[in-house]
Amino acid sequence: MKKITILNGDIHPEKKIFSEYIHQVEEKLMSEKLEVHVFNINSMNLFYCKGCWSCWWKTPGKCDIQDDGSQIFQSVINSDFIIFASPLIAGFTSSALKKITDRFVCLLHPYIQIKNGENHHQKRYEKYPDFGLILEQEADTDEEDIEIVKNIYGRLSLNFHNNMRFCHFTESNKPEEIAHEISHY
């Protein structure tokens, strides 16, 4: 059974529109017989990376920060697919999603390898999950905003030895389309 982790970066869940959409995606994925774990990041006890590098040298593979991050890291590394989900805010994903994404460094080795002529971290684990983006555009979102987000997550994908499978928008993609795409890749 495929395991899916959804990182919901909605910082305004009281508005319900984005989080309700993510809930619909979750339901559709479960109807496809997939195991789904949703993390509503804004309601979790999470701190910013402090750059201590303990996850590399002191406690290899384990973040030194005592918060809910360990639940997310365990789910991520044991998943087949990750969905990074966020409304765009000032042209980028939410600070909540960025906060936890920055801490994914604990899932890699500090050692560097050359990949496609660039320096990238070596794998800590044999397998890394592919991922996709689900974004909600702002009224003034333009193509440059979208390209920046896609490029940054594409670079994250390259560093995590996986594939970024898609970038979908709540305005133009139905939850069942996303679930079908994930279950059949």
The pair of structure tokens assigned to 147 is 């390209």
Distance, in Å, from the CA atom of 38 to the CA atom of 75, rounded to the nearest integer, reads 10
Match 């910082």 to its residue by tokens. 11
| Alpha carbon distance, N-terminus to C-terminus of the chain | 13
CATH 3.40.50.360 is right for the domain spanning 3-183: yes
11-59 per-position pLDDT tens digit: 987 888 999 999 999 999 999 999 999 999 999 999 999 999 999 999 9
103-156 per-position pLDDT tens digit: 999 999 999 999 889 999 999 999 999 999 999 999 999 999 999 999 999 999
Distance, in Å, from the CA atom of 29 to the CA atom of 178, rounded to the nearest integer, reads 8
Closest by CA to 41, choosing from 101, 96, 82, 92, is 96
Query: Looking at the DSSP assignment, which residues form a beta bridge with residue 87?
Result: 136
